[in-house]
Structure 1
Amino acid sequence: MAVTPTLLTREGLRKLQEELEQLRTEGRRKAAQRIREAKSHGDVRESGEYEDAKEFQAFVEGRIRELELLLADVQLIEEVEGTEVVHLGSRVRVRDDDGYEEVWTLVGSAEADPRNGRISNESPVGQALLGRRAGDRVEVQTPAGLTRLTILEIA
């Protein structure tokens, strides 16, 4: 089975690399410290503190493995300005039927962060916007219901 490359912008790549480095150093150090502290309190067989520390360590190691896999095969997305068609890396300004405007950057799922205006190309909104032009209207089924968006600008 072929591995699908992780689609990332340069900023997304930098952030994931920084997170990985932080987990390998500070995260592991903090996990080891929490385990040592829990052990210093005596019998660990029924210690909630020890179990919490081990769960934290498992989380850190799991996230490290996840990031290593994501970063093993990266395809960079260039954020291009001045394009006529929405594609990965595009910044898109849209307006809904209530007149509310938002600006989103279309990114790969590994760096999606909707609260900060970075939506995945795999999300319903991202899929609806791909390949569209300024002036196009799209309809998107979201958990909140049917949403209609007008593409105002592609940068």
Structure 2
Amino acid sequence: MIVANKFNSMHQEQEYLTKEKFKALGKELEHLKTVKRKEAAEALEYAKSLGDLSENQEYQEARDSQAILEDRISRLEAILKSAKIVSAQGTNLIAVGSVITVEKDSDKSHKSYTIVGSEEADATNGKISINSPLGIAAVGKSKGDKFSFETPSGMMSYKIIDIK
């Protein structure tokens, strides 16, 4: 249980990414900086040329779009700066990168999930964030352990069937 507590306190300080996701975010950042920034600047210049800025809707929209773009660039830079590259640990404890099979206590159904960093989370494809209620409750557990967590629809309880 010490491993889980240590890990839970660490996972909030860093973004955990697979090598593939790290590369994809790097490509996105480069595209935003080189292509999208130029497009945003051009849109802003065009909108300025339309006249009175105080009543110029295109200018306001261009400024808003540019602000959203700069926010995304800043977020990506922060993520990539603090990122820790992870892969399946090959351990018997659940961590980022683990593929787990769990059994739901209420109906004994089995589901498999991959525990990932928050940037890679995609519940429809079975990628569960380490920061989700399930991820937080499962990290540090081993095969055969049971765990529970609160959801908006009530308490959920699972048993760990397998860890890869």
> TM-score of the superposition, structure 1-length normalised?
0.82
In structure 2, which of residues 99, 107, 130 is the aligned counterpart of residue 91 of structure 1?
Answer: 99
C-alpha deviation, 1:11, in angstroms: 2.0
Moved over 6 A (4+): none
In structure 2, which of residues 115, 130, 147 is the aligned counterpart of residue 138 of structure 1?
Answer: 147
C-alpha deviation, 1:51, in angstroms: 0.8
Cα distance in structure 2, aligned partners of 1:149 and 1:74: 30
Is the contact between residue 89 and residue 95 of structure 2 (CA under 8 Å) also seen in structure 1?
A: no
Q: Secondary structure, in 3 states, of the residue corresponding to 2:25?
A: helix
- Structure 1 residue 33 corresponds to structure 2 residue 42: yes
- Structure 1 residue 10 corresponds to structure 2 residue 19: yes
Which consecutive unaligned segments of at least 5 residues does structure 1 have? none
1:88 corresponds to which letter in structure 2?
V
Q: Secondary structure, in 3 states, of the residue corresponding to 2:156?
A: strand
- Structure 1 residue 116 corresponds to structure 2 residue 125: yes
Aligned to 2:136: 127
Mapping 1:73-92, distance limit 5 Å: 73-81=82-90, 83-92=91-100
C-alpha deviation, 1:100, in angstroms: 4.5
In structure 2, which of residues 56, 74, 84 is the aligned counterpart of residue 65 of structure 1?
Answer: 74
> What is the root-mean-square deviation in Å for CA atoms of aligned residues?
2.3
2:27 corresponds to which letter in structure 1?
E
1:95 corresponds to which letter in structure 2?
E
Which consecutive unaligned segments of at least 5 residues does structure 2 have? 1-11
2:25 corresponds to which letter in structure 1?
L
- May I ask how many residue pairs the two structures share in their alignment? 152
Change (3 A) 1:51 1:90: same
2:70 corresponds to which letter in structure 1?
E
Change (3 A) 1:29 1:100: farther
Cα distance in structure 2, aligned partners of 1:36 and 1:116: 42
Change (3 A) 1:104 1:26: farther
Is the contact between residue 103 and residue 160 of structure 2 (CA under 8 Å) also seen in structure 1?
A: yes
